[in-house]
Structure 1
Protein backbone atom coordinates (compact mmCIF):
# COMPACT_ATOMS: atom_id res chain seq x y z
CA UNK A 1 0.00 0.00 0.00
CA UNK A 2 2.76 2.43 0.97
CA UNK A 3 4.75 1.53 -2.15
CA UNK A 4 1.74 2.26 -4.37
CA UNK A 5 1.33 5.66 -2.72
CA UNK A 6 5.00 6.46 -3.39
CA UNK A 7 4.66 5.44 -7.02
CA UNK A 8 1.53 7.59 -7.43
CA UNK A 9 3.35 10.57 -5.91
CA UNK A 10 6.27 10.07 -8.30
CA UNK A 11 4.02 9.91 -11.38
CA UNK A 12 2.00 12.89 -10.11
CA UNK A 13 5.19 14.94 -9.72
CA UNK A 14 6.44 14.00 -13.20
CA UNK A 15 3.15 15.09 -14.78
CA UNK A 16 3.22 18.33 -12.79
CA UNK A 17 6.75 19.14 -13.97
CA UNK A 18 5.79 18.31 -17.55
CA UNK A 19 2.87 20.77 -17.35
CA UNK A 20 5.12 23.46 -15.90
CA UNK A 21 7.76 23.02 -18.61
CA UNK A 22 5.18 23.10 -21.41
CA UNK A 23 3.47 26.22 -20.06
CA UNK A 24 6.76 28.03 -19.43
CA UNK A 25 7.88 27.13 -22.96
CA UNK A 26 4.71 28.69 -24.35
CA UNK A 27 5.29 31.82 -22.28
CA UNK A 28 8.91 32.01 -23.40
CA UNK A 29 7.92 31.62 -27.05
CA UNK A 30 5.35 34.40 -26.74
CA UNK A 31 7.44 36.83 -24.72
CA UNK A 32 10.83 36.27 -26.36
CA UNK A 33 9.69 35.16 -29.78
CA UNK A 34 6.86 37.60 -30.43
CA UNK A 35 8.37 40.48 -28.46
CA UNK A 36 11.97 40.22 -29.69
CA UNK A 37 12.69 37.69 -32.47
CA UNK A 38 9.64 38.28 -34.66
CA UNK A 39 9.14 41.92 -33.68
CA UNK A 40 9.90 43.29 -37.13
CA UNK A 41 7.45 40.96 -38.89
CA UNK A 42 4.72 41.55 -36.30
CA UNK A 43 5.19 45.32 -36.44
CA UNK A 44 3.56 45.25 -39.90
CA UNK A 45 0.23 44.72 -38.09
CA UNK A 46 -1.49 46.93 -35.53
CA UNK A 47 -3.71 46.38 -32.47
CA UNK A 48 -5.44 49.46 -31.11
CA UNK A 49 -3.06 51.72 -33.03
CA UNK A 50 0.07 50.02 -31.66
CA UNK A 51 2.39 47.77 -33.62
CA UNK A 52 1.83 44.11 -32.68
CA UNK A 53 5.53 43.45 -31.95
CA UNK A 54 5.59 46.39 -29.54
CA UNK A 55 2.27 45.29 -28.02
CA UNK A 56 3.54 41.76 -27.33
CA UNK A 57 6.75 43.09 -25.80
CA UNK A 58 4.87 45.51 -23.52
CA UNK A 59 1.56 43.81 -22.67
CA UNK A 60 0.89 40.66 -24.65
CA UNK A 61 3.32 38.45 -22.78
CA UNK A 62 1.77 39.50 -19.45
CA UNK A 63 -1.72 38.63 -20.69
CA UNK A 64 -0.50 35.27 -21.92
CA UNK A 65 1.18 34.63 -18.56
CA UNK A 66 -2.06 35.32 -16.67
CA UNK A 67 -3.98 33.02 -19.04
CA UNK A 68 -1.36 30.31 -18.51
CA UNK A 69 -1.82 30.61 -14.73
CA UNK A 70 -5.52 29.80 -15.15
CA UNK A 71 -4.67 26.92 -17.52
CA UNK A 72 -2.21 25.57 -14.94
CA UNK A 73 -4.83 25.75 -12.16
CA UNK A 74 -7.28 23.82 -14.31
CA UNK A 75 -4.69 21.20 -15.26
CA UNK A 76 -3.63 20.76 -11.64
CA UNK A 77 -7.22 20.39 -10.45
CA UNK A 78 -7.67 17.57 -12.97
CA UNK A 79 -4.36 16.02 -11.93
CA UNK A 80 -5.30 16.21 -8.24
CA UNK A 81 -8.57 14.40 -8.95
CA UNK A 82 -6.79 11.79 -11.07
CA UNK A 83 -4.40 10.85 -8.25
CA UNK A 84 -6.77 11.38 -5.32
CA UNK A 85 -5.16 14.54 -3.91
CA UNK A 86 -8.31 16.64 -4.11
CA UNK A 87 -9.77 17.38 -0.72
Structure 2
Protein backbone atom coordinates (compact mmCIF):
# COMPACT_ATOMS: atom_id res chain seq x y z
CA UNK A 1 0.00 0.00 0.00
CA UNK A 2 1.37 3.41 -0.96
CA UNK A 3 0.94 6.51 1.09
CA UNK A 4 -0.76 9.60 -0.28
CA UNK A 5 2.37 11.62 0.40
CA UNK A 6 4.27 9.58 -2.16
CA UNK A 7 1.86 10.79 -4.84
CA UNK A 8 2.19 14.43 -3.73
CA UNK A 9 5.97 14.64 -4.18
CA UNK A 10 5.58 15.89 -7.75
CA UNK A 11 3.22 18.58 -6.56
CA UNK A 12 5.67 19.80 -3.94
CA UNK A 13 8.48 19.88 -6.48
CA UNK A 14 6.23 21.86 -8.82
CA UNK A 15 5.37 24.32 -6.06
CA UNK A 16 9.05 24.83 -5.21
CA UNK A 17 10.00 25.35 -8.87
CA UNK A 18 7.05 27.72 -9.35
CA UNK A 19 8.00 29.71 -6.26
CA UNK A 20 11.61 29.92 -7.46
CA UNK A 21 10.48 31.18 -10.88
CA UNK A 22 8.19 33.78 -9.29
CA UNK A 23 11.02 34.89 -7.00
CA UNK A 24 13.46 35.26 -9.90
CA UNK A 25 10.91 37.22 -11.94
CA UNK A 26 10.18 39.48 -8.96
CA UNK A 27 13.89 40.18 -8.43
CA UNK A 28 14.39 40.93 -12.12
CA UNK A 29 11.36 43.23 -12.12
CA UNK A 30 12.68 45.12 -9.10
CA UNK A 31 16.07 45.51 -10.81
CA UNK A 32 14.43 46.77 -14.00
CA UNK A 33 12.33 49.29 -12.09
CA UNK A 34 15.41 50.55 -10.19
CA UNK A 35 17.32 50.92 -13.45
CA UNK A 36 14.45 52.80 -15.10
CA UNK A 37 14.31 55.20 -12.15
CA UNK A 38 18.03 55.88 -12.43
CA UNK A 39 17.70 56.45 -16.17
CA UNK A 40 14.79 58.84 -15.56
CA UNK A 41 16.89 60.81 -13.07
CA UNK A 42 19.78 61.06 -15.53
CA UNK A 43 17.38 62.07 -18.30
CA UNK A 44 15.95 64.82 -16.10
CA UNK A 45 19.48 66.10 -15.42
CA UNK A 46 20.29 65.99 -19.14
CA UNK A 47 17.10 67.87 -19.98
CA UNK A 48 17.95 70.57 -17.46
CA UNK A 49 21.47 70.83 -18.89
CA UNK A 50 20.04 71.20 -22.39
CA UNK A 51 17.70 73.97 -21.22
CA UNK A 52 20.61 75.80 -19.61
CA UNK A 53 22.68 75.40 -22.77
CA UNK A 54 19.82 76.72 -24.87
CA UNK A 55 19.46 79.79 -22.67
CA UNK A 56 23.20 80.47 -22.78
CA UNK A 57 23.47 80.10 -26.56
CA UNK A 58 20.31 81.91 -27.68
CA UNK A 59 22.32 85.06 -28.33
CA UNK A 60 24.37 83.22 -30.95
CA UNK A 61 21.31 83.16 -33.20
CA UNK A 62 21.46 86.96 -33.30
CA UNK A 63 25.13 86.94 -34.24
CA UNK A 64 24.35 87.11 -37.98
CA UNK A 65 22.14 90.17 -37.47
CA UNK A 66 24.87 91.81 -35.38
CA UNK A 67 27.47 91.04 -38.06
CA UNK A 68 25.23 92.50 -40.77
CA UNK A 69 24.61 95.65 -38.74
CA UNK A 70 28.32 96.08 -38.05
CA UNK A 71 29.09 95.60 -41.75
CA UNK A 72 26.50 98.25 -42.67
CA UNK A 73 27.93 100.66 -40.09
CA UNK A 74 31.45 100.08 -41.40
CA UNK A 75 30.30 100.66 -44.98
CA UNK A 76 28.53 103.87 -43.93
CA UNK A 77 31.58 105.08 -42.03
CA UNK A 78 33.84 104.31 -44.99
CA UNK A 79 31.48 106.16 -47.33
CA UNK A 80 31.37 109.14 -44.96
CA UNK A 81 35.17 109.21 -44.73
CA UNK A 82 35.41 109.23 -48.53
CA UNK A 83 32.77 111.97 -48.76
CA UNK A 84 34.78 114.09 -46.33
CA UNK A 85 37.91 113.64 -48.39
CA UNK A 86 39.62 110.94 -46.37
CA UNK A 87 41.91 108.24 -47.67
CA UNK A 88 40.67 106.54 -50.77
Shorter-chain TM-score: what band?
Answer: 0.3 to 0.5
State which structure, 1 or 2, has the greater radius of gyration over its C-alpha atoms. Answer: 2
TM-score after normalising by structure 2: 0.37
TM-score after normalising by structure 1: 0.37
More strand per residue: 1
More helix per residue: 2
Greater RCO structure (CA 8 Å; 6+ sep)? 1
